Amino acid sequence: MEKGKNMAMLIRTLTLVVVLFSSGLFKNGIHAGEATLKAGVEAMNRGHYATALRAFRNLAKEGDAQAENNIGYLYERGLGVPQDYSKALKWYKLSADKSLPEAQFNTGLLYHYGYGVAKNQSEARKWFERAAKKGYTEAEYMMGQFFQNGWGVRTDGLKALAWYKRAAKKGKIEAQFMTGVMFLSGDAGKEEAVKGYAWTHVSMQNGYEGAKEVLDYAELSMKDNQVKMAKALSKQCIVSKLRQCP
Protein backbone atom coordinates (compact mmCIF):
# COMPACT_ATOMS: atom_id res chain seq x y z
CA MET A 1 0.00 0.00 0.00
CA GLU A 2 3.06 2.27 0.02
CA LYS A 3 2.33 3.43 -3.53
CA GLY A 4 -1.22 4.28 -2.44
CA LYS A 5 0.10 6.36 0.45
CA ASN A 6 2.46 8.23 -1.84
CA MET A 7 -0.34 8.82 -4.34
CA ALA A 8 -2.56 10.17 -1.56
CA MET A 9 0.19 12.56 -0.47
CA LEU A 10 0.69 13.74 -4.05
CA ILE A 11 -2.96 14.56 -4.67
CA ARG A 12 -3.75 15.96 -1.22
CA THR A 13 -2.98 19.55 -2.20
CA LEU A 14 -4.78 19.07 -5.51
CA THR A 15 -8.04 18.09 -3.80
CA LEU A 16 -8.16 20.39 -0.78
CA VAL A 17 -10.20 22.98 -2.66
CA VAL A 18 -12.25 20.65 -4.83
CA VAL A 19 -15.17 20.94 -2.41
CA LEU A 20 -15.21 24.69 -2.95
CA PHE A 21 -16.01 24.22 -6.62
CA SER A 22 -19.37 22.64 -5.92
CA SER A 23 -21.16 25.68 -4.61
CA GLY A 24 -23.59 26.26 -7.48
CA LEU A 25 -26.10 28.21 -5.45
CA PHE A 26 -28.68 29.48 -7.91
CA LYS A 27 -31.16 27.46 -9.87
CA ASN A 28 -32.01 29.04 -13.20
CA GLY A 29 -34.58 26.41 -14.05
CA ILE A 30 -38.21 27.51 -13.66
CA HIS A 31 -41.57 25.90 -13.28
CA ALA A 32 -43.34 25.67 -16.62
CA GLY A 33 -46.03 28.30 -17.02
CA GLU A 34 -45.05 30.38 -13.99
CA ALA A 35 -44.54 33.77 -15.56
CA THR A 36 -43.78 35.44 -12.24
CA LEU A 37 -40.91 33.13 -11.45
CA LYS A 38 -39.57 33.51 -14.97
CA ALA A 39 -39.75 37.29 -14.68
CA GLY A 40 -37.87 37.15 -11.39
CA VAL A 41 -35.11 34.98 -12.85
CA GLU A 42 -34.78 37.27 -15.86
CA ALA A 43 -34.64 40.35 -13.62
CA MET A 44 -31.93 38.74 -11.54
CA ASN A 45 -29.88 37.85 -14.60
CA ARG A 46 -30.02 41.53 -15.60
CA GLY A 47 -28.87 42.59 -12.15
CA HIS A 48 -32.28 43.99 -11.16
CA TYR A 49 -32.24 42.31 -7.78
CA ALA A 50 -34.97 44.36 -6.09
CA THR A 51 -37.37 43.48 -8.90
CA ALA A 52 -36.36 39.84 -8.66
CA LEU A 53 -36.87 39.82 -4.91
CA ARG A 54 -40.41 41.24 -5.25
CA ALA A 55 -41.30 38.56 -7.77
CA PHE A 56 -39.88 35.77 -5.62
CA ARG A 57 -41.56 37.07 -2.46
CA ASN A 58 -44.97 37.08 -4.15
CA LEU A 59 -44.52 33.44 -5.03
CA ALA A 60 -43.01 32.57 -1.66
CA LYS A 61 -46.20 33.79 0.03
CA GLU A 62 -47.90 30.94 -1.80
CA GLY A 63 -45.26 28.49 -0.63
CA ASP A 64 -43.36 28.18 -3.91
CA ALA A 65 -40.20 26.19 -3.10
CA GLN A 66 -38.13 27.50 -6.02
CA ALA A 67 -38.90 31.11 -5.11
CA GLU A 68 -37.94 30.43 -1.49
CA ASN A 69 -34.64 28.94 -2.63
CA ASN A 70 -33.93 31.96 -4.83
CA ILE A 71 -34.64 34.37 -1.98
CA GLY A 72 -32.15 32.40 0.09
CA TYR A 73 -29.59 32.87 -2.66
CA LEU A 74 -30.15 36.66 -2.72
CA TYR A 75 -29.58 36.86 1.04
CA GLU A 76 -26.55 34.59 0.90
CA ARG A 77 -24.86 36.68 -1.76
CA GLY A 78 -26.15 40.07 -0.59
CA LEU A 79 -27.86 40.84 -3.90
CA GLY A 80 -30.42 43.61 -3.50
CA VAL A 81 -30.43 43.00 0.26
CA PRO A 82 -27.80 43.14 3.01
CA GLN A 83 -25.89 39.87 3.07
CA ASP A 84 -27.40 37.73 5.82
CA TYR A 85 -26.50 34.06 6.08
CA SER A 86 -29.05 33.44 8.83
CA LYS A 87 -31.87 34.67 6.62
CA ALA A 88 -30.43 32.73 3.71
CA LEU A 89 -30.53 29.56 5.79
CA LYS A 90 -34.10 30.28 6.88
CA TRP A 91 -35.28 30.56 3.27
CA TYR A 92 -33.24 27.59 2.08
CA LYS A 93 -34.71 25.41 4.82
CA LEU A 94 -38.26 26.48 3.99
CA SER A 95 -37.62 25.30 0.46
CA ALA A 96 -35.63 22.23 1.50
CA ASP A 97 -38.47 21.07 3.73
CA LYS A 98 -40.57 20.97 0.55
CA SER A 99 -38.01 18.53 -0.89
CA LEU A 100 -36.43 20.84 -3.48
CA PRO A 101 -33.02 19.17 -3.98
CA GLU A 102 -31.04 22.33 -4.78
CA ALA A 103 -32.37 23.93 -1.59
CA GLN A 104 -31.40 20.84 0.39
CA PHE A 105 -27.93 21.09 -1.14
CA ASN A 106 -27.68 24.80 -0.30
CA THR A 107 -28.79 24.14 3.27
CA GLY A 108 -26.10 21.49 3.54
CA LEU A 109 -23.45 23.91 2.30
CA LEU A 110 -24.26 26.50 4.96
CA TYR A 111 -24.05 23.88 7.70
CA HIS A 112 -20.85 22.49 6.17
CA TYR A 113 -19.07 25.86 6.12
CA GLY A 114 -20.74 27.28 9.22
CA TYR A 115 -22.32 30.28 7.48
CA GLY A 116 -25.21 31.74 9.49
CA VAL A 117 -25.17 28.76 11.81
CA ALA A 118 -22.66 26.76 13.85
CA LYS A 119 -20.69 24.38 11.64
CA ASN A 120 -22.35 20.99 11.87
CA GLN A 121 -21.13 18.23 9.58
CA SER A 122 -23.76 15.72 10.70
CA GLU A 123 -26.52 18.16 9.82
CA ALA A 124 -24.80 19.04 6.56
CA ARG A 125 -24.55 15.37 5.64
CA LYS A 126 -28.24 14.88 6.32
CA TRP A 127 -29.22 17.58 3.83
CA PHE A 128 -26.65 16.54 1.22
CA GLU A 129 -27.88 12.96 1.44
CA ARG A 130 -31.49 13.99 0.89
CA ALA A 131 -30.51 15.91 -2.25
CA ALA A 132 -28.17 13.17 -3.44
CA LYS A 133 -30.88 10.53 -3.17
CA LYS A 134 -32.94 12.65 -5.56
CA GLY A 135 -30.06 12.50 -8.03
CA TYR A 136 -28.69 16.02 -7.45
CA THR A 137 -25.17 15.76 -8.88
CA GLU A 138 -23.45 18.32 -6.67
CA ALA A 139 -24.83 16.62 -3.57
CA GLU A 140 -23.68 13.21 -4.81
CA TYR A 141 -20.19 14.62 -5.10
CA MET A 142 -20.37 16.07 -1.59
CA MET A 143 -21.43 12.70 -0.21
CA GLY A 144 -18.25 11.30 -1.71
CA GLN A 145 -16.28 14.01 0.07
CA PHE A 146 -18.01 13.28 3.38
CA PHE A 147 -17.39 9.54 3.28
CA GLN A 148 -13.81 9.98 2.08
CA ASN A 149 -12.91 12.50 4.77
CA GLY A 150 -15.10 11.22 7.61
CA TRP A 151 -17.08 14.44 7.98
CA GLY A 152 -20.06 13.64 10.19
CA VAL A 153 -19.83 9.95 9.22
CA ARG A 154 -17.47 7.04 9.64
CA THR A 155 -14.82 7.10 6.89
CA ASP A 156 -15.83 4.63 4.18
CA GLY A 157 -13.83 4.47 0.95
CA LEU A 158 -16.29 2.18 -0.82
CA LYS A 159 -19.22 4.49 -0.17
CA ALA A 160 -17.12 7.52 -1.16
CA LEU A 161 -16.21 5.86 -4.45
CA ALA A 162 -19.82 4.90 -5.14
CA TRP A 163 -21.01 8.49 -4.67
CA TYR A 164 -18.13 9.91 -6.70
CA LYS A 165 -18.89 7.55 -9.57
CA ARG A 166 -22.56 8.56 -9.60
CA ALA A 167 -21.57 12.19 -10.01
CA ALA A 168 -18.71 11.37 -12.38
CA LYS A 169 -21.03 9.58 -14.79
CA LYS A 170 -23.20 12.69 -14.90
CA GLY A 171 -20.24 14.76 -16.09
CA LYS A 172 -18.95 16.37 -12.89
CA ILE A 173 -15.26 16.76 -13.62
CA GLU A 174 -14.14 16.95 -9.99
CA ALA A 175 -15.95 13.68 -9.32
CA GLN A 176 -14.25 12.07 -12.32
CA PHE A 177 -10.89 13.08 -10.88
CA MET A 178 -11.75 11.84 -7.40
CA THR A 179 -13.04 8.54 -8.80
CA GLY A 180 -9.63 8.09 -10.40
CA VAL A 181 -7.86 9.01 -7.18
CA MET A 182 -9.87 6.49 -5.17
CA PHE A 183 -8.93 3.69 -7.56
CA LEU A 184 -5.26 4.73 -7.78
CA SER A 185 -4.75 5.17 -4.05
CA GLY A 186 -6.58 2.04 -2.98
CA ASP A 187 -8.68 4.04 -0.54
CA ALA A 188 -11.75 2.08 -1.66
CA GLY A 189 -10.22 -1.27 -0.73
CA LYS A 190 -7.56 -2.09 -3.30
CA GLU A 191 -5.45 -0.29 -5.86
CA GLU A 192 -6.84 -0.56 -9.39
CA ALA A 193 -4.36 1.33 -11.51
CA VAL A 194 -6.03 0.85 -14.89
CA LYS A 195 -9.44 2.06 -13.71
CA GLY A 196 -7.84 4.86 -11.74
CA TYR A 197 -5.73 6.02 -14.66
CA ALA A 198 -8.76 5.84 -16.98
CA TRP A 199 -10.97 8.03 -14.81
CA THR A 200 -8.17 10.49 -14.09
CA HIS A 201 -7.50 10.67 -17.83
CA VAL A 202 -11.21 11.39 -18.44
CA SER A 203 -11.01 14.29 -15.99
CA MET A 204 -7.88 15.60 -17.73
CA GLN A 205 -9.60 15.41 -21.12
CA ASN A 206 -12.42 17.42 -19.61
CA GLY A 207 -10.04 20.09 -18.33
CA TYR A 208 -9.34 19.16 -14.71
CA GLU A 209 -6.22 21.01 -13.58
CA GLY A 210 -3.82 18.74 -11.73
CA ALA A 211 -4.90 15.51 -13.41
CA LYS A 212 -1.80 15.29 -15.60
CA GLU A 213 0.51 15.39 -12.60
CA VAL A 214 -1.31 12.42 -11.08
CA LEU A 215 -1.23 10.54 -14.39
CA ASP A 216 2.51 11.14 -14.79
CA TYR A 217 3.10 9.77 -11.30
CA ALA A 218 0.84 6.76 -11.87
CA GLU A 219 2.72 5.85 -15.07
CA LEU A 220 5.92 5.38 -13.09
CA SER A 221 4.56 2.15 -11.59
CA MET A 222 2.39 0.96 -14.49
CA LYS A 223 3.33 -1.25 -17.40
CA ASP A 224 3.00 0.11 -20.92
CA ASN A 225 0.14 -2.24 -21.74
CA GLN A 226 -1.72 -1.07 -18.61
CA VAL A 227 -1.40 2.57 -19.66
CA LYS A 228 -2.54 1.68 -23.16
CA MET A 229 -5.56 -0.19 -21.80
CA ALA A 230 -6.42 2.67 -19.45
CA LYS A 231 -6.31 5.22 -22.25
CA ALA A 232 -8.55 2.99 -24.35
CA LEU A 233 -11.04 2.80 -21.47
CA SER A 234 -10.91 6.57 -21.10
CA LYS A 235 -11.65 7.03 -24.80
CA GLN A 236 -14.52 4.56 -24.63
CA CYS A 237 -15.94 6.40 -21.64
CA ILE A 238 -15.84 9.77 -23.39
CA VAL A 239 -17.08 8.51 -26.77
CA SER A 240 -20.00 6.73 -25.10
CA LYS A 241 -20.91 9.97 -23.30
CA LEU A 242 -20.04 8.40 -19.95
CA ARG A 243 -22.31 5.38 -20.44
CA GLN A 244 -19.46 2.85 -20.77
CA CYS A 245 -16.91 3.68 -18.11
CA PRO A 246 -14.85 1.43 -15.82
The tens-digit pLDDT sequence of the chain (246 residues) is 444 445 544 443 343 333 333 343 444 444 433 788 889 999 999 999 999 999 999 999 999 999 999 999 999 999 999 999 999 999 999 999 999 999 999 999 999 999 999 999 999 999 999 999 999 999 999 999 999 999 999 999 999 999 999 999 999 999 999 999 999 999 999 999 999 999 999 999 999 999 999 999 999 999 999 999 999 999 999 999 999 999
Question: Quick one: which of 215, 216, 135 has its CA closest to 183?
Answer: 215
Q: Give CA–CA dist 142/151, Å, rounded.
A: 10
DSSP 3-state assignment of 135?
Answer: coil
pTM of the model: 0.87
**What are the Cα distances from residue 33, in Å, to 29, 39, 62?**
12, 11, 16
Torsion angle of C-alpha atoms 19, 144, 88, 60, degrees rounded to 10: 130
Q: How far apart are the first and last CA of the chain?
A: 22
pLDDT confidence of residue 34 = 75
Buried b (16+ CB within 10 A) or exposed e, 55-64: bbeebbeeeb
pLDDT confidence of residue 108 = 97
